[in-house]
Amino acid sequence: METPTGIVSALITGCLVGLLGRLAVPARRRVPIGALMTVLIGLLGAALGLVVASGIDAGWFLTLLLQVAVAAVLVLLVSSAGGRGRR
């Protein structure tokens, strides 16, 4: 994989996984975060989910589910660290 292509595909994957992770978290539980934070959460979720999936020899669909689940947990962690929840 060439470096520019790898970077672009990683950013696209990060955006998609981050958005899916945000959608998986109920709206009342999440604090609004910016697009950059969504991409960062998506990249981290995709990487950690891939590590877990490769450890259990998962297929592509289970890998995607694990990546989104990790991103959703990260969204919850970032939202709780934000401290601006509704009362």
C-alpha dist (Å) from residue 66 to 5, 14, 31, 38, 84: 24, 13, 22, 17, 28
Rounded-to-integer distance, Cα 66 and Cα 58, Å: 10
pTM: 0.78
Banded pLDDT at 87 (limits 50, 70, 90): very low
Interior angle at CA 66, CA 84 and CA 49, nearest 5 = 85
Give the model confidence (pLDDT) of 3-36 as tens digits.
667 778 878 888 888 888 888 887 776 677 777 8
Per the model's pLDDT, the better-predicted residue between 82 and 41 turns out to be 41
- pLDDT tens profile 47-79: 888 888 889 988 889 988 888 899 889 988 887
What H or E segment, with its residue span, contains residue 26?
Answer: none
